[in-house]
């Protein structure tokens, strides 16, 4: 193969490498439409993406939205679900009547992606639970704790802000920069668990919004070979 031909192939390889280096949205929930108010573990009647229906709680963004799910598991049958204003987005996923161990949950695939990270927005009412932890399970394995965090109050005295569908407030955003062990997995389950030690905040509400999992697209075998060829061309040029 001529050097000119190698150079052309190297250019393609460089483009593939550049694309792989940029973080992509694997899956994301922004709750773009309201769902019917009611009790149960998953909001019903929501079809976020065309052509639909995709089922309740399916991600509305991301390359791996198919088969994803946002839900909640609550101990009390009195728990109800609403979709009030999000943090700079039209709606959020909100519920009340919390007990220790209750959780919001997302499930999704990270197939084709590595270097995963997670971000989400969460807020509570003045009487809602504040102490939470993040738990993760990969491919049906046991759940491991990733972090603990405090949910800030939205609205009312002492709150740093109030959630609005038109204004995003970064104070309510939480991030985990590395989901260790979740690369290229067929199934990942993440839970945002009420970590209160007692039944405090049982009468209040807690809402979640703008849940995003980002990662780097793993090059296909052919693209990886091209990247190797690009390195060979570079070495020849330096010779």
Residue 70 lies in a domain: yes
Angle between helices 221-238 and 3-21 (to 10 degrees): 130
Residue 17 lies in a domain: no
CA angle (15, 229, 111) in 5-degree steps: 60
Residue 11 lies in a domain: no
134: containing domain: 23-217
pLDDT at 8: 40
pLDDT at 235: 53
Following DSSP, what letter does each residue of the chain receive, concatenated?
A: --HHHHHHHHHHHHHHHHHHHSEEEEEEE---S----EESSS--S---SSS----TT--SBSTT-TT-EEEEE-S-TT-EEE----SSSS--EEEE---TT-EEEEEE--TTEEEEEEEEEEEE-TTS--EEEEEEEETT---EEEEEEEPEEBSSTT-SB---SS---GGGEEEES--TT-TT-S-EEEEEEE--SSSTTTTSEEEEEEEEEEEEEPPPHHHHHHHHHHHHHHHHHH-
Residue 198 lies in a domain: yes
Residue 121 lies in a domain: yes
pLDDT at 163: 98
Nearest to 151 by CA among 112, 229, 96, 207: 207
| Residue ranges in the chain modelled with pLDDT below 70 | 1-22, 36, 38-56, 200-202, 220-239
Residue 231 lies in a domain: no
Domain count, the chain: 1
Q: Is 68 exposed, middle or buried (0-12, 13-18, 19+ CB in 10 A)?
A: buried
pLDDT at 6: 37
Q: Are 201 and 95 in contact (CB under 8 A)?
A: no
**For residue 124, what is the domain's CATH number?**
2.60.120.260
133 half-sphere exposure, CB direction, 13 A CA radius: 14
Q: Are 24 and 216 in contact (CB under 8 A)?
A: yes
pLDDT for 172-188, tens place per residue? 999 999 999 999 999 99
Residue 113 lies in a domain: yes
Work out the end-to-end distance of the chain between its first and last CA atoms, rounded to an integer number of angstroms: 17
Peptide bond into 53 cis (omega under 30): yes
Q: What's the CA gap between 129 and 205, in Å, rounded?
A: 8
Residue 69 lies in a domain: yes
């Amino acid at each position: 193969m001529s050097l000119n031909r190698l150079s052309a192939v190297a250019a393609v390889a460089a483009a593939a490498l550049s694309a792989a280096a940029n973080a992509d949205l694997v899956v994301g929930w922004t709750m773009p439409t309201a769902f019917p108010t009611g009790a149960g573990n998953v909001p019903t009647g929501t079809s976020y993406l065309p052509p639909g229906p995709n089922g309740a709680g399916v991600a509305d963004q991301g390359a791996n939205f198919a088969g994803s799910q946002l839900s909640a598991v609550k101990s009390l049958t009195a728990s109800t679900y609403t979709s009030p204003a999000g943090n700079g987005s039209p709606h959020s996923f909100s519920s009340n009547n919390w007990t220790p161990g209750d959780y919001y949950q997302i499930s999704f695939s990270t197939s084709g992606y590595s270097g995963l990270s997670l971000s989400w927005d969460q807020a509570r009412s003045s009487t809602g639970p504040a102490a939470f932890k993040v738990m993760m399970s990969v491919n049906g394995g046991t759940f491991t704790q990733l972090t603990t965090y405090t949910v800030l109050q939205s609205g009312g005295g002492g709150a740093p802000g109030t959630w609005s569908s038109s204004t995003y407030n970064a104070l309510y955003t939480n991030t985990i920069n590395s989901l260790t062990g979740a690369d290229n997995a067929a199934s990942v389950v993440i839970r945002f668990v009420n970590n209160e030690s007692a039944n405090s905040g049982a009468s209040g509400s807690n809402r979640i919004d703008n849940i995003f999992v980002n990662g780097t697209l793993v090059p296909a075998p052919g693209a990886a070979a091209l990247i190797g060829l690009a390195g060979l061309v570079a070495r020849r040029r330096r010779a």
